[in-house]
Structures are given as structure tokens and as C-alpha cells.
Amino acid sequence: MNAHKSENKNIVLQAEHIKKKFNLEAGFFASCGRFVYAVNDVSFTIGENETYGLVGESGCGKTTTARTIVGMYKIDSGSILYKGKETSKFLHKELKDYREKVKYIFQDPARSLNPRMNIYQILTSGWHWSTHWQGNDYAKERAASILEETGLSADDMYRRPAEFSGGQRQRISIGRALIMQPEVLICDEVVSALYVSIQGQILNLLQDLREKRKLSYLFITHDLKIACYFCDRIGVMYRGCLVEEADASNLFQTAKHPYTQLLFESAQSFSTNVKGEVKTNIEELEGCPFVHRCPKVTKRCKYQMPPLVNVSKENESPHLLRCFEN
């Protein structure tokens, strides 16, 4: 059995062994052959009406992973499957449908919303070229309905983004995705720039939308507390690798990887004997990605990559771990 498969049999989105690297130096005259290895053999699944969280510090590869899924970056190897079919093999119509069904919500709505457009234009500009377009009159009705569904007013339709607060702008970003009738929303740090009280409102909105529309989410965050509250399963990333994956409901009690434990300790403001920062991958990983910070490191860890294996007991939900010492 594939260790990465969700218990949910209806898999909507699946990443299989995806890798992505970038040139270390940018520009036309930059030398080639030196790379940053951002995503290193990552696999996971998202089931129907499921929320899968990707968690880790800045620079661990979460956003790069998400952007490969929607095609902002082309993967170097591996495959991305939507309802069992590789997206790289989609024909034009299939690719267009995929882009309508899998929508991306950015971290900073102030930068992702065009300040020169009013809210109606923002909501409908992409929709106008989709297979769902049914004319301006219907578009106005849909835009008004979406605004009310996301907690705003239909009267806001002809205002501009600068007239709204950060939380309201994020609601507009969510509405822009919803108007395409998606099946999967990729939420990239969508609450990290908001006040705590507003974070709760946006999370509750997303939860309500998930239940009402039967949506699936890929939820990216650096905050394990938020992930445990909002997600069904969590994958913990470090230096482009998944180091642990388990049910969100009990990960706090069952976390086994030293890095996951470090994140929980940091969230609780406990002291820890794990020091350092995320180390940039400018060479392909040979050993454990956490070797330079791990308190349990052995010689084997430095030269051999631990496999991601299921360490759960019989009749328990899958718990995947990449560590020799647990």
C-alpha cells in the first residue's frame, strides 16, 4: 500500500516524488550549474473534502511545493495528479479545467489585488475567460452573492482594495477564487499577516466554505497551532523534505521527529536544546535534512537519507516518519 495515501479513498490531488531546484544566481549572464534545491522528493495526497497542512519554517519549501502544483513553477521530476491523471499530460481543455478547479490564495492580499480595479473587476476578470462565463448581468449577480458569502456586502462591489482592511481584502481574495467554482483551494499563509482576532474569523470562514461547498484545502502555514486546529492531516517540511506526516488531532502528543518537536516547543515558548536555522540546500541532500540541528544525530544520519516510513501501530491512522533514531 502507498504510505502517502490518505484514508479517504477519493483522492483529489496527489504529489508524487516531486523535485524542484532553482539557479543559485539570477540574470542572463549568471553562471550555470549551481542550484538551490528547494523541493526534494515530496509526496502527499489530499482527499475529497479534506484539509492537508504543510508546516515548516520559512525557506523549507512549502510555498515552492504549492506553486508547482498550480503550475507557477515546472517540476524537475516527479508527478502531480488531479483525480488520478497526471497534469503534465493534460490537453488544452483539461489544463484549463484544472486551473479553474484548483485555485491559489496568496499570503498578502494587498499585493495580489490590483489597486486600479474595483472589486467587481477583481472578482470577474479571470472568470470572464473561463468556461463558466454567462454574461455581465449574471456576473454581477454572482459577484454580489460571493461578496455576501464571504462576509462582505454587495454594496462593496465598486469600491477599490485600498478602502478595505487586511482581513476584508483577504475575504475578497477568497471570493475571487470561489467565483470559479473550485474543488481545491491552496491557501498560502492566508492568515499570517492578520491580527489574531481576524485570523480566527478567516479560518472560520474557510471552514464554513469547506462544509458548504465540499472543498479540499492545501493549507500552508508556519504555525503548528493553527495547523492542528484547522487541518485534518499535517505534513512537516524541512529543507524541501517531508520529515513527518500524521493526523492533526493528535500530532502534539505523537510527534516523533526532533524538528516537529522543536516546532511545538517553540510554539509553547519552551526552552529547547535544538539550535540553528534552516540551512539552504545548495547541494543535493545525501544525509538527513535535519542533521545540522538534530540533538540525536549519528554518523549514519550524515551520509544516508532516512526513508519516510509508516511507524503507526496496527489499526491506527498512518504516521509517517523520516528518522533513524525513532
Structural domain contains residue 139: yes
CATH code assigned at 216: 3.40.50.300
Is pLDDT above 60 for 105?
A: yes
Structural domain contains residue 6: no
Structural domain contains residue 177: yes
Structural domain contains residue 2: no
Structural domain contains residue 192: yes
Write the CB contacts of 310 (distance below 8 Å, at least 6 apart in sequence).
3, 318, 319, 320
- Record the pTM: 0.91
Structural domain contains residue 1: no
pLDDT in tens, 242-273: 999 999 999 999 999 999 999 998 877 644 44
As a whole-number percent, the residues of the chain with pLDDT over 90 amount to 72
As a whole-number percent, the residues of the chain with pLDDT over 70 amount to 91
Is pLDDT above 50 for 4?
A: no
Is pLDDT above 50 for 326?
A: yes
Structural domain contains residue 41: yes
Is pLDDT above 50 for 58?
A: yes
- Per the structure, the count of domains in the chain is 1
Buried b / exposed e over 304-318, threshold 16 CB at 10 Å, is ebbebeebbeeeeeb
Range of the domain at 212: 11-321
